Amino acid sequence: MSSELPGCAKCPYEPTTRICQQKDGKSPPFCPTVTKTHIIEKALEEVMKPENLEFARQASIQEGEGYADKELGYAQTRPLKPRIVEIIEFAKKMNYKKLGLVFCMGLRKEAKVVENLLSINGFDVVSGLCKMGRTPKEMIGVRDEQKIKIGCFESMCNPIAQAFVLNDENTEFNIMMGLCVGHDSLFLKYSEAPCTVFAVKDRLLGHNPLAAIYNIDSYYRSLKVAK
Ligand code: SF4
């Protein structure tokens, strides 16, 4: 048993040669496929439970349907669908009728478009903005200089309220759009329905946080120096 922390992100091997992709594949000392077999078996038992099995099966089918030209071989497969299409298709596969949509004030225009796309595909949509309830930030100990609009009233984001409103309406599947770091965590903690993320917030990078990662060796090289 390795004493190293599981570290798939550091795996040195080509994807197709890894033990998680083929039976006699390679594995580093920190490989959970080798060191965590008991946990992976336990996870599989959980996947096989009726409440998870169909969800997992349809998610994998959706994944496979995300590629074109599969008959030409793996090297020639192409991505086929944007995420919004995948979400709509997956929700239909699961026979969901009532969807939740939680979003940030900063993405209200985009949320209106998404709500419309979901509605025209036949779903009932319950939507909730982060600022619902108009609770002042002072309520949770935020000082005036820590607000965005210093010297003014400012509503706090209340992701638990967003979750409670959707829970109260018995939404079957919740879609998240641009919740702040940490607010998204609280929403996930309190949402009763399974969730998917349509978009994550990145105020600077147009909600594409990977842009900083793609440019790590150029414009974002300073990130490699510990702050
Ligand atoms: S499971 Fe093992 S072989 Fe697969 S990526 Fe993780 S460390 Fe690498």
Domains identified in the chain, total number: 1
AA letter at 201: K
What confidence tens digit (pLDDT) does each residue in 170-214 have? 999 999 999 999 999 999 999 999 999 999 999 999 999 999 999
Say if residue 34's pLDDT is above 60.
yes
118: domain CATH number is 3.40.50.1860
Examine residue 197 and state whether it is found in any structural domain, yes or no.
yes
- Whether the per-residue pLDDT at 88 is higher than 80: the answer is yes
Residue nearest to atom 7 of ligand 1 (CA): 31
Asked if the structure places residue 62 within a domain, the reply is no
Share of the chain above pLDDT 70, in %: 99
Average pLDDT over residues 48-75: 97
Distance 2 CA to ligand 1 centre (A): 13
- pTM for this model (two decimals): 0.95
Q: What is the pLDDT of residues 96-118, one digit of tens each?
A: 999 999 999 999 999 999 999 99
> What band does 2 get if pLDDT is binned at 50, 70 and 90?
low
What is residue 3's predicted lDDT score, i.e. its pLDDT?
A: 74
Q: For tokens 């992701």, name the residue.
A: 159
Report CA-CA distances (Å) from 216 to 46, 50, 211, 213. Answer: 38, 43, 9, 5
Percent of residues, the chain, with pLDDT higher than 90? 98
Asked if the structure places residue 23 within a domain, the reply is no
Domain membership of residue 54 (yes or no) is no
Q: What is the pLDDT of residue 1?
A: 54
Q: Residue whose CA is closest, atom 2 of ligand 1? A: 31
Residues with CB under 6 A from ligand 1: 8, 11, 18-20, 27-28, 31-33
Residue 88 Cα to ligand 1 midpoint, Å, equals: 32
Domain residues for 150?
Answer: 82-227
Residue 204 forms part of a structural domain: yes
pLDDT per position as a tens digit, 67-80:
999 999 999 999 99
CA atoms within 13 A on the CB side of 47: 11
For residue 205, tell me if it sits in a domain: yes
The token duo for 47 is: 């996947």
Give tens-digit pLDDT for 153-168. Answer: 999 999 999 999 999 9
What is the reported pLDDT for 103?
98
At residue 62, the pLDDT reads 98
Domain presence at residue 53: no
For the chain, what is the mean pLDDT?
A: 97
Strands 67-68 and 78-79: antiparallel
**In the structure encoding, which two tokens stand for residue 56, read together?**
């997992």
Q: Which amino acid is at 30?
A: F
